[in-house]
Amino acid sequence: MNPVGNYRTLRLNDISLFRDLLTEERNAIGQCLREETFKKGEILFSEGAFCERILIVQSGRVKIFRLSSSGREQILEALVPGDTCACNPGQAHWSCSSSAQALTDCTVWTLSRFNYVQMIKSNSRMAHTLNRIFAERLCRFSSLIETVSVDDPQKRLIKFIA
């Protein structure tokens, strides 16, 4: 795991969580990020585990999913470069509500929980952006719930194909 040096800081502009920050703020974040690589099929984190860090996809694809009690997998979203699995730093007990698995070989930046919480608390622009990301994710999940629980199989198939 290597720190993400200043030579990569400009790429942080592509990440919606950091886009509205000042250059100095992005530089500071760049110094806190660590780069990790995962092979296709590797688990990045598991549901119920203590959440020690957030992930930002740099390259490749990562699926976020949950398993039902019967073992059926429900994919919640697929993360692509620039996407994050950022959680709510306001939670007292921060555990993963889902699991993540590499859909392809991928590289992610990780940010420790401590650094993430400090950044959100001290930067209103970042907190505002995080709220927007949560709102967008909530809309996607609401649509997914409707598709899975309300739509008949034919409608689900049509949405899947379209």
Tens-binned pLDDT, residue by residue, of the chain (162 aa): 444 443 343 377 778 777 777 888 888 888 889 999 999 999 999 988 888 888 889 999 999 998 888 888 888 889 998 888 866 555 666 778 889 999 999 999 998 888 888 887 887 777 666 666 666 766 665 666 666 566 566 665 665 565
d(CA 94, CA 76): 19
71 torsion bin: left (phi>0), alpha (psi -120 to 50), beta (else):
left
Number of separate domains in the chain: 1
Amino acid at 88: N
Q: Which residues pair with 45 in a beta bridge?
A: 100
CA 104 vs. chain centroid, Å, equals 16
d(CA 98, CA 67): 8
The predicted structure's pLDDT at residue 8 = 42
The predicted structure's pLDDT at residue 143 = 67
The predicted structure's pLDDT at residue 140 = 65
To which H or E segment does residue 156 belong?
helix 153-161
Domain, as residue range, for 12: 2-161
* CATH number of the domain encompassing residue 110: 2.60.120.10
Amino acid at 8: R
The predicted structure's pLDDT at residue 26 = 81
**Could you tell me the CA-to-CA distances from 69 to 66, 72, 73 in Å, in that order?**
10, 7, 10
Return the ∠ at Cα 36 (arms to 95 and 120), rounded to 5°: 50
To which H or E segment does residue 75 belong?
strand 73-79
Q: Which residue has tokens 């806190």?
A: 32
* Contact of 132 with 19, CB cutoff 8 Å: no
